[in-house]
Amino acid sequence: MKKKISYYLLFLPLIFFTASCSNDEVEEYYSRPDDLEAPIYQQLDARGNFTNLITLIDKSGYKDILGKAGYWTMMAPNDEAFTQFFQEQGISDASSVDSLTASKIVKYALIYNAFRTERLSDYQSIIGWVEDLAFRRRTAYYDGFQTKNINGSPMVIVGSNRNNSLGGDPYISGDNNNKYITYFTEEYMAALGVGSSDYNYFFPNSAYTGFNVLGAETVQADIVAENGIIHEVDKVSLPPINLDQKLEESPDYSLFRDMLEANLVNYVFDEEATTTYQNFTKKSDEVYVKVYDPALSFSPNNENYLKEEDNDGQIDAYTLIVPENAAFQTFVDEVLLKNYPSLDKLPKYVFEDFFNAHMVPNAVWPSKAGGYSNALEEDIRIDMGTDVIEAEILSNGFFFGTSKIQASNLFYSVYTSAYLDPAFTLATRLFNDGSGFREIISNIYNNYTLFLPSDEVLMDLGYDYDIDRSEWVYTSPETGNTVRGTLARSRLLRVLYNSIISTPDLELNDLSGSGIIRSGDFTLPGEYIKWENNQVFAAGNEVLENRVNILGYEDRQNGRTYYIDNILEFSEEFQGVDLSQLASEPDSQFLYFFEFLRSSGMYDDDSGAIDGVELGTFYTFVIPNNDAISQAVMDGMLPGDPLTGEPNFTLESTLEQGQVANFIKYHILATRTASDDGLITGLTETLRKTELGDETYVSVISAPGALSFVGESQREAVYIPEQSNHLADRSLIHLVDNYLLYTE
């Protein structure tokens, strides 16, 4: 149970005095109580073991601030801490510390507002205190304006104090971008489910005590002062650098930083910052804000975390995973530049994705790394035990220097074949434009086969992208007619979705035989395509008589990419045309069904359209063979001679026409395409409606190599494999050995 907090700070009630009160009475009432604790400065001075800190407070100009009213928490290093600090810095005593360093130590030890240990683990949210969510607090220290050499010229720089990814201004005038200090309390660590191993991961030479401030142990907590709280610590903490500064100061990661700076960093003139700087320094230099690209998850120089709430930096921080130069160079040579001559030729989105893959918008605790995702919503693929060569807690986040890159899906999946090859920019553009295709084929935990047409192939077939108008264009090679925008994009979406095949067992790694398989993902079924003798084709290819040839292939972590000389075309003719062609073959077993279709009034001889059947919608056509139709005649289900089963296709009444139409409709399954692959099973709606307008259903029973259909009368029709799985517009046509019966 969290303890109640008791502050010994003075809050005087409001007293109204009458006009008769003397000045002495008023002065006595408002005089400082004798039992009030001394301010922070006087407390430190009186205790006798903070002499070095007192000297630095004097040098930094903070004596007056800490010696009177205020509201602070001070993480105060004692004299033993300074003895160790002096040894580490190679200086003799506090008198050798310059005023700038003194100011850094004092300001970074000062936290805004007064917090006893019971409150340090609590988050100051906009709705009140939230227990045990906090492990950081904003300090009085900030870097401010700095002069740096940028591209060979000196420039006054200030860091972004907002994340550019959130929109708005990346620099807010008046926000000093104060650094945060990180501490580790028992209550917070227990609530998060982390412990000493996480602490020692970053501070291997310190002991975890249940209240540590960075690498320091707390010697005495909750020393109450008039103007705040003092926590005595055994180490001196200089302000840590932030993630941006870490990259700047670390030669082991220079290649990572160089690519980041060259492609996703700008220096933007800021008038308000310039005015502030010139007024303060009396100099005439202009000030530029170092701005990271808005496509990045966060700005590594922003100390404020998200700033969605004023204090959200108390509860979280960023994480940056940075591969050392050798690992980074290997990745550049073997992956990024496999098809590009140099880094400056890569599209900008490649840089955005690469760096976002190494950014986590949360503080990644080592023991819980498996529970975090990077900015691309991928799991962390760095082994915290073997791949991390350096780990630091910095002022705005966690830094992990690694011996390998974060292996993003985008660089190791079948998606990569298009993404990192300039010959496939049209396909990549469509994958990336919100289609959802990128997310499907870049998932390295599911196997896919991708049939990938090049820009040249797509443009030869009429597809292009108008950069000036930001829209897709399609010009029919047959008619010369052009459509633009959504219509053109929809055509290409369908073409490219035909080219994405979920192959969990790499079923299409051998195309030498023949077969049929459904395109798309399991959650969003596509159309069926076929392969035969190392060629592939969809329904439209059959219509156009232009099968797709394989030009080569590349194996990726989640499947195989085939490079192709054509596209997997969808059909634009009505399914009735396909039925007509099947019925016209010699000794066709589709003939009787088709003739009844023609006589039913549902069929248009000119277009092949069937009433109730729409182009672009999924269907399954269950076609009884001629013997099954004859049996339906004998059973009185269709017109004809009930003794011989000879059909009568000349319907003499609307009653017969309606009877035939209902029979036909019950053999057309709507909204789903079923094959002998086990993907579609269970009740499936048909086109037939009851007299009351209700749907009717057929049960699909499918398994690899088996397919049958059962009507509501429990009559079963089994597919005839050698005459089934005919391709049509988003449909399959199957020949079955029986007819389906619906009983009103």
Q: Where are the beta strands (DSSP E) in 498-636?
A: 500-502, 514-520, 525-532, 535-537, 548-556, 559-564, 619-624
Which domain-ending residue is among 375, 407, 439?
407
Task: Give yes or no for residue 606 having a pLDDT over 50.
Answer: yes
Q: Do residues 210 and 280 share a domain?
A: no
Q: Are β-strands 448-453 and 559-564 bridged in parallel, bridged antiparallel, or unpaired? A: parallel
pLDDT on residue 419: 98
Q: Rounded to whole angstroms, how far apart are CA atoms 624 and 612?
A: 20
In a domain, 6, yes or no: no
The stretches of 358-435 forming alpha helices (DSSP H) are 414-419, 425-432
Backbone torsions φ then ψ of 559, nearest 5 degrees? 140, -155
Domain final position from 534, 564, 594: 564
Confidence (pLDDT) at 29: 45
- The CATH number given to whatever domain includes residue 651 is 2.30.180.10
Do 551 and 586 have their domain in common? no
The answer to whether residue 12 scores a pLDDT higher than 50 is: no
When pLDDT is cut at 50, 70 and 90, the band that residue 1 belongs to is: very low
User: Among positive and negative, which fits the CA dihedral 137, 141, 145, 148?
Assistant: negative
**Rounded-to-integer distance, Cα 230 and Cα 458, Å:** 70
For the CA atoms of the chain, what is the radius of gyration?
Answer: 37
What does residue 672 show for φ and ψ, rounded to 5 degrees? -140, 145
Q: Which domain holds residue 585?
A: 575-736
Same structural domain, 512 and 644: no
Residues 663, 637 contacting (CB under 8 angstroms)? yes
- Residue in the block written with tokens 């000879």: 646
Q: What is the mean pLDDT of residues 167-184?
A: 95
Q: Are 674 and 646 in contact (CB under 8 A)?
A: no
Same-domain pairing of 198 and 249 = no
* For range 406-435, the mean pLDDT: 97
Residues 325-338 pLDDT 10s: 999 999 999 999 99
Distance of CA 534 to the CA centre of its chain: 36
Residue 357 inside a domain? The answer is yes
In the block, residue with structure tokens 């904003």: 138
In this predicted structure, the answer to whether residue 113 has a pLDDT above a threshold of 50 is yes
Helical (H) or strand (E) element with 182? strand 180-185
Residue 148: inside a domain, yes or no? no
Nearest to 289 by CA among 266, 260, 261, 305: 266
Q: Distance between CA 4 and CA 122 in Å, rounded?
A: 13
- 83 token code pair: 């003895």
The pLDDT value given to residue 197 = 98
Same domain, 74 and 206: yes
Residue the block writes with tokens 């035969």: 532
Query: What tokens does 215 get?
Result: 């690498």
- Across the beta sheet with 72-77, the strand order is 110-112, 72-77, 228-233, 216-225, 211-213, 180-185, 136-138
Let me know if residue 9 belongs to a domain.
Answer: no
Q: Which of 159, 160, 63 is nearest to 103 (CA)?
A: 63
CA–CA separation, 247 and 397 (whole Å): 13
Domain assignment of residue 657, yes or no: yes
What backbone torsions phi and psi does residue 464 show, to the nearest 5 degrees?
-160, 170
Residues 426 and 517 occupy one common structural domain = yes
* Percentage with pLDDT > 90 across the chain: 92
Per-residue pLDDT of 435-481, as tens digits, reads 999 999 999 999 999 999 999 999 999 999 999 999 999 999 999 99
573, two tokens: 């003719």
Q: Work out the mean pLDDT of the chain and round it to a whole number.
A: 94
Q: What is the pTM of this model?
A: 0.89
Same domain, 72 and 217: yes
Measured CA to CA, the distance from residue 417 to residue 489 in angstroms comes to 21
Q: Which pLDDT score is estimated for 470?
A: 96
Query: How many helical (H) and strand (E) elements, i.e. helices and strands, does the chain have?
Result: 24, 35
| Bridge partner residues of 698 (DSSP) | 684
Q: Are residues 59 and 202 in the same domain?
A: yes
Residues 290 and 425 in one domain: no
322 burial level (CB within 10 Å; 0-12, 13-18, 19+)? buried
pLDDT of the residue at 30: 45
* Last residue in a domain, options 407, 441, 470: 407
Question: Is 159 part of a structural domain of the chain?
Answer: no
Strand ranges (DSSP E) for 43-126?
72-77, 110-112, 123-125
Q: 447 and 321, same structural domain? A: no
Give CA–CA dist 111/99, Å, rounded. 20
Strands 216-225 and 211-213: antiparallel
Q: Are 229 and 209 in contact (CB under 8 A)?
A: no
Whether 32 has a pLDDT exceeding 80, the answer reads no
Band the pLDDT of 38: cuts 50, 70, 90. Answer: very high
Please state the separation of Cα 223 from the chain's center in Å: 46
CA distances (Å), 441 to each of 255, 448, 567, 725, in order?
29, 7, 18, 26
Beta bridge partners of 320: 359, 399
pLDDT tens track for 221-249: 999 999 999 999 999 999 999 999 999 99
Using alpha carbons, select from 502, 368, 527 the residue that is nearest to residue 445: 502
The per-residue pLDDT for 516 is 98
Tell me which H or E stretch contains 155. strand 153-159
Which residue type does 39 have? Answer: P
Residues 211 and 316 in one domain: no
440: nearest Cα among 521, 558, 350, 356: 521
Written as six digits, the tokens of 505 are 């067992």
| Amino acid identity for residue 275 in this structure | T
Percentage of the residues of the chain whose pLDDT score is greater than 70: 95
Enclosing H/E stretch for 583: helix 575-583
pLDDT digits (tens, 9 = 90+) for 141-156: 999 999 999 999 999 9
DSSP string, 694-736: -EEEEEEEEETTEEEEE-TT--EEEB-GGG--EEETTEEEEEE
Enter the tokens of residue 413: 């999946």
Name the maximum alpha-carbon separation found in the chain: 128
12: in domain: no
> Is pLDDT at 25 greater than 80 in this prediction?
no
pLDDT of residue 680: 96
pLDDT tens digits for range 353-398: 999 999 999 999 999 999 999 999 999 999 999 999 999 999 999 9
CA distances from 322 to 247, 331, 412 (A): 9, 13, 18
* Domains identified in the chain, total number: 4
Q: What is the token pair recorded at 5?
A: 């907090």
Q: How confident is the model at residue 562 (pLDDT cuts 50, 70, 90)?
A: very high
Give the other-Cβ count within 10 Å of 336's Cβ.
19
Is 39 within a domain? yes
| Pairing between β-strand 318-323 and β-strand 359-360 as defined by DSSP bridges | antiparallel
CA 1, chain centre distance (Å): 38
Task: Give the mean model confidence (pLDDT) for residues 412-432.
Answer: 98
Q: Which residues contact 69 (CB under 8 A, 6 or more apart)?
A: 39, 226, 227
Q: Taking residues 16-41, report their average pLDDT.
A: 59
Where residue 69 falls among pLDDT bands split at 50, 70, 90? confident
Inter-axis angle of helices 40-47 and 51-60, to 10 degrees? 140
258 and 199 in a common domain: no
How is the beta sheet containing 318-323 ordered, strand by strand? 359-360, 318-323, 397-402, 388-393
Q: What is the CATH number of the domain that holds 364?
A: 2.30.180
| Residue 639 DSSP symbol | S
Amino acid, single-letter form, for residue 173:
S
Place of tokens 């999946």: 413
